[in-house]
């Protein structure tokens, strides 16, 4: 775990998680689906680094950033094409990261409210919450088709309002730079994870409180906050 020098606050009531690359090891599947979409529609095939750089944005924003003029005016077509590859055609496994369920169970047992803020659409998140059997741990969630795309902080604002939690008592956890930037844009503390789409060096540019190398390391961050 990489610790930052920022002094941690005394307490959190709410922990908000990104989904892809933070709770679910879905980055390889996303890479495969984007490349398959590129080949199907004769688009320039992006590099792995280019695809990783857009993980966390809404699907419309991600495809626009990746393909630019190649998809201009036809975004709905490519969005549906990507979803078809992700849900129906691609068989790349996307398991929940080891330690995630134990982390969620421990946080819930200690009374923390848990939520999800994701670049996925509502239909996709609901499907994965059910398939992973993690849905019962979360009291609320926001998706990219219910708010503006990250790093705009609207989905965080909506979660705070819904759960009646002040920003000073909430923590954002994510693997993507835009997760951390989204938290910065609303003045929320954030923790980066090093095992997802973005490198430690990239995450450090957003000055998170810490960068963890395993989901259960988040408990150490929160424990330090409780005794600070």
**Distance from C-alpha of 150 to C-alpha of 156, rounded to nearest angstrom:** 10
pLDDT at 8: 41
- In this chain, the answer to whether the domains covering 2-25+96-227 and 27-89 adopt an identical fold is no
* Active-site hit among 13, 20, 42, 74: 20
pLDDT band at 225 (very low <50, low <70, confident <90, very high): low
Distance from C-alpha of 228 to C-alpha of 166, rounded to nearest angstrom: 19
- The model scores a pTM over 0.85: yes
**Residue 58 burial (C-beta neighbours within 10 Å; 0-12, 13-18, 19+):** buried
Q: Is the pLDDT of residue 96 over 60?
A: yes
151: pLDDT strictly greater than 70: yes
Using the structure block, give the residue that is written with the tokens 């060096």.
201
Model pLDDT, residue 224: 66
Delimit the domains of the chain by residue range: 2-25+96-227, 27-89
Whether 18 is catalytic is yes
Structure tokens of 183?
């938290």
Contact 174, 119 (CB under 8 A): no
How far from 180 is each of 32, 151, 152, 193, 198, CA to CA, in Å? 25, 8, 11, 10, 11
Q: Which two tokens stand for residue 148?
A: 């503006």
pLDDT at 182 over 60: yes
| Residues pairing with 174 in the sheet | 192
Cα dist from 63 to 18, 66, 111, 168, whole Å: 19, 5, 38, 34
- The pLDDT tens digits for 115-144 are 999 999 999 999 999 999 999 999 999 999
CB 37 within 8 A of CB 85: yes
User: Would you place residue 205 in the very low, low, confident or very high pLDDT band (cuts 50, 70, 90)?
Assistant: very high
The answer as to CATH 1.10.260.40 being correct for domain 2-25+96-227 is no
Residue 213 known to be catalytic: no
**Catalytically annotated residue among 13, 18, 44, 48:** 18
- What is the share, in percent, of the chain residues with pLDDT greater than 90? 87
Which of 14, 172, 193 shows the shortest CA–CA distance to 107? 14
Whether the predicted pLDDT of 148 surpasses 90: yes
Where does the pLDDT of residue 67 fall: very low under 50, low under 70, confident under 90, or very high at 90 and above? very high
CATH topology for 27-89? DNA polymerase; domain 1 (1.10.150)
pLDDT (mean) for 148-154: 95
The CA distance from 79 to 65, in Å, is 13
Q: What's the pLDDT score for residue 2?
A: 65
> Tell me, what's the pLDDT at 4?
52
CB 121 within 8 A of CB 59: yes
20-29, 168-177, 215-224: least confidently modelled range: 215-224
Cis ω for the linkage preceding 174 (within 30 of 0): no
Query: Per residue in 3-61, pLDDT tens?
Result: 554 444 448 999 999 999 999 999 999 999 999 999 999 999 999 999 999 988 889 99
Task: Report the distance separating Cα 7 and Cα 29, nearest Å.
Answer: 37
- Report the mean per-residue pLDDT for the chain: 92
Q: Cβ neighbours of residue 145 under 8 Å, at least 6 residues apart? A: 58, 121, 122
The mean per-residue pLDDT over the stretch 108-113 comes to 94
* Token pair 């495809």 in the structure block, residue: 63
């Amino acid at each position: 775990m990489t610790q930052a020098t920022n002094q941690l606050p005394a307490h959190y009531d709410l922990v908000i998680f990104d989904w892809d690359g933070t709770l679910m090891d879905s980055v390889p599947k996303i890479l495969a689906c984007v490349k398959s979409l590129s080949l199907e529609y004769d688009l320039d095939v992006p590099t792995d680094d280019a695809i990783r750089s857009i993980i966390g944005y809404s699907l419309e924003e991600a495809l626009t950033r990746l393909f630019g003029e190649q998809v201009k005016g036809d975004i709905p077509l490519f969005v549906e094409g990507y979803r078809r590859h992700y849900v129906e055609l691609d068989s790349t496994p996307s398991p929940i990261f080891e330690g995630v369920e134990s982390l969620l169970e421990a946080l819930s047992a200690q009374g923390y409210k848990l939520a999800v803020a994701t670049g996925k659409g509502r239909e996709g998140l609901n499907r994965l919450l059910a398939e992973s059997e993690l849905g019962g741990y979360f009291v609320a969630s926001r998706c990219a088709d219910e708010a503006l795309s990250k790093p705009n902080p609207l989905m965080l604002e909506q979660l705070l309002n819904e759960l009646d939690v002040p920003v000073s008592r909430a923590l954002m956890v994510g693997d993507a730079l835009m997760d951390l930037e989204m938290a910065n844009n609303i003045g929320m503390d954030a923790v980066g994870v090093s095992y997802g789409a973005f490198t430690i060096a990239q995450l450090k540019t957003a000055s998170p409180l810490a960068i963890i190398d395993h989901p259960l390391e988040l408990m150490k961050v929160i424990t330090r906050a409780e005794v600070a």
